[in-house]
Chain A
Amino acid sequence: MKNKLKVLRAEHNLTQEQLGKAVEVSRQTINAIEKEKFDPSLVLAIKLARLFKTEIESIFIYAMD
């Protein structure tokens, strides 16, 4: 699943560590999501969307093959 997490994080001047702290996950998890190696759970996706005051679909793009 593609995502715009890195762009949003940069726009809000947050480090991976700070973003992880805000949504209660590790820096490693934020990094893995940004690199699209790991898809977050629905709860984490909602937390991220609320933090950036946007909708889940604006951050995560599900593309069927």
Chain B
Amino acid sequence: MTFYMKTKKQQVLNLAGWTWSWVATLALATFGPQFIWDDHQLLTILFVGLNFANGIAMVIANRHFFNSLDELQRKIQLEALGITLGLTVIIGITYSLLDTTNLINEDAEIGFLVGIIGVIYMVSTLIINKRYS
């Protein structure tokens, strides 16, 4: 395994670690007040802050991961992120319009948008990777 591959693997593991801990702190901050600490405000503030700080660490880990990639992989990521950003804005605005014009019964949820971001990013990365293989 080359130094380059070791560095990339380390950065992927680092990013995965911060992502999972961000999800875990998000779950704690969301469900903790109701199911664990009985709406104790100080604990809620603490976990919301912890989740925010964890999110910042996740963004930094993502930047390190990006910098560990070689030039083709960066190009692939850049194209995938560009497609994801564009489609997310379009889908997000359309989804919001459907809500405000009452064309859908339920309220527009941010969770839907986050899910859409994940799916679009994954699919576009796979397609662009295939194009360069």
Taking a contact as CB atoms under 8 Å apart, the answer to whether B133 and A28 are in contact is yes
Interface size on A, residues (CB 8 A): 14
Q: Is B2 located at the chain interface by the 8 A CB criterion?
A: yes
Taking a contact as CB atoms under 8 Å apart, the answer to whether B4 and A21 are in contact is yes
Taking a contact as CB atoms under 8 Å apart, the answer to whether A26 and B132 are in contact is no
Count of chain A to chain B residue pairs whose CB atoms are closer than 8 Å in the complex = 38
A24-B70, A38-B75, A40-B71 known; A31+B2 contact, CB < 8 A: no
A28-B133, A32-B133 known; A21+B2 contact, CB < 8 A: yes
Q: Is A41 located at the chain interface by the 8 A CB criterion?
A: yes
Q: Is A37 located at the chain interface by the 8 A CB criterion?
A: yes
> Residues of B contacting A24 with CB < 8 Å?
2-4, 70
A32-B133, A37-B132 known; A26+B73 contact, CB < 8 A: yes
Report which residue of B2, B3, B75, B133 has the largest number of chain A beta carbons within 10 angstroms of its beta carbon: B2
Report which residue of A21, A24, A26, A38 has the largest number of chain B beta carbons within 10 angstroms of its beta carbon: A26
Question: Which residues of chain B in 64-122 are interfacial with respect to chain A, using CB atoms and an 8 Å cutoff?
Answer: 70-73, 75
Q: Could you tell me the distance between the alpha carbons of A28 and B77 in the complex, rounded to whole angstroms?
A: 14
Taking a contact as CB atoms under 8 Å apart, the answer to whether B73 and A28 are in contact is yes
- Say how far B131's CB is from chain A's closest CB, in angstroms: 7
> Residues of A contacting B132 with CB < 8 Å?
28, 32, 37-38
19 other contacts beyond A25-B71, A28-B133, A29-B71, with CB at 8 A cut-off?
A20-B4, A21-B4, A24-B3, A24-B70, A25-B4, A25-B70, A26-B72, A28-B72, A28-B73, A29-B70, A31-B133, A32-B132, A32-B133, A37-B131, A37-B132, A38-B72, A38-B75, A41-B71, A44-B71
